[in-house]
């Protein structure tokens, strides 16, 4: 049987400070196919971002392994690009220059200067930011900053796009617009996406599967929910869709009933 595109196998993560060891993750196993959109959801402190940082190569797991396209992940690499909740743009650079800094580093030897220029423009056009090429981050809105961050990540042509609550700091309307943009882009490019979120509606709207984490310490994957909704997805239509609301209820039930009972049992 062929291996999955991205495999997280038996991953555990401990953090030690002095004589105190915190067991954050244990026995995390997940297989992701090429082109899948996976959301990881769970309460604060369940290790969601730790999983993402291990896949990104920013953290080395205490045990277990991450394999991407047949190669073990041990360090950061251009085959994985990460978009944070904070846009992480360099404030002294323009919109164009913020994307160019990544493109020039990765494609310095494989694309000519003219090709890199066109590639930067194409990725900014994809997120509807062509009108703001020469503006600096302080001159554009929060939603626009995040669009630039997504353009920069996509311009790296990563095998996996990692999103760490990318819409969490935005107002509701901007968040909805950007979610729609990400759905459109993912439909066009067929990216493999791994996203962290606290938002149940966002997870159901965007995902092919939702990975639900148990509470920490020693958090792991509690359930995985397949989202069998046709694409493209329209949030207005789905608001009254019984299947959509069934999925939403399943996630809410896991988060606020099953995991709450675990907490009560642990306290008792």
Q: Is 226 exposed, middle or buried (0-12, 13-18, 19+ CB in 10 A)?
A: exposed
Query: What does the pLDDT average to over 34-49?
Result: 94
Query: What does the pLDDT average to over 93-118?
Result: 96
How many angstroms from the chain centroid is the CA of residue 174? Answer: 18
Give pTM, 2 decimals. Answer: 0.91
Give percent above pLDDT 70 in the chain. 96
Q: Can you list the alpha helix ranges (DSSP code H) found in the chain?
A: 48-56, 95-106, 113-126, 142-155, 172-189, 200-206, 235-238, 242-253, 259-267
**Per-residue model confidence (pLDDT) at position 8:** 97
Query: What does the pLDDT average to over 56-85?
Result: 94
Q: Is 108 exposed, middle or buried (0-12, 13-18, 19+ CB in 10 A)?
A: exposed
The CA–CA distances, whole Å, from 225 to 186, 246, 247 equal 20, 11, 8
> Which residues does 182 contact at the CB level (< 8 Å), separation at least 6?
150, 163, 166, 206
Query: What does the pLDDT average to over 244-248?
Result: 97
Query: What does the pLDDT average to over 203-211?
Result: 97
């Amino acid at each position: 049987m062929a291996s999955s595109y991205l495999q997280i196998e038996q991953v555990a993560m401990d953090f030690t400070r002095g004589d105190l060891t915190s067991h954050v993750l244990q026995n995390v196993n997940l297989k992701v196919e090429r082109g899948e959109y996976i959301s990881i959801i769970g309460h604060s402190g369940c290790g969601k971002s730790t999983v993402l940082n291990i896949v990104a190569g920013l953290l080395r797991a205490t045990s277990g392994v991450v394999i991407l396209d047949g190669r073990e992940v041990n360090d950061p690499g251009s085959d994985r690009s990460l978009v944070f909740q904070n846009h992480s743009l360099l404030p002294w650079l323009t919109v164009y220059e913020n994307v160019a800094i990544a493109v020039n580093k990765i494609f310095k030897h494989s694309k000519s200067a003219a090709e890199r220029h066109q590639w930067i423009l194409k990725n900014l056009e994809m997120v509807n930011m062509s009108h703001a090429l020469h503006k600096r981050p302080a001159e554009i809105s929060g939603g626009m900053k995040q669009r630039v961050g997504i353009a920069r990540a996509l311009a790296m042509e990563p095998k996996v796009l990692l999103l760490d609550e990318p819409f969490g700091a935005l107002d509701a309307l901007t968040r909805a617009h950007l979610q729609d943009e990400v759905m459109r882009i993912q439909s066009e490019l067929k990216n493999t996406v791994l996203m962290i979120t606290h938002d149940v509606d966002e997870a159901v709207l965007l995902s092919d599967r939702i990975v639900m984490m148990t509470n920490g310490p020693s958090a792991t994957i509690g359930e995985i929910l397949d989202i069998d909704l046709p694409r493209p997805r329209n949030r207005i239509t789905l608001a009254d869709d019984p299947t959509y609301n069934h999925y939403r209820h399943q996630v809410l039930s896991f988060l606020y009933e099953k995991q709450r009972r675990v907490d009560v049992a642990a306290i008792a």
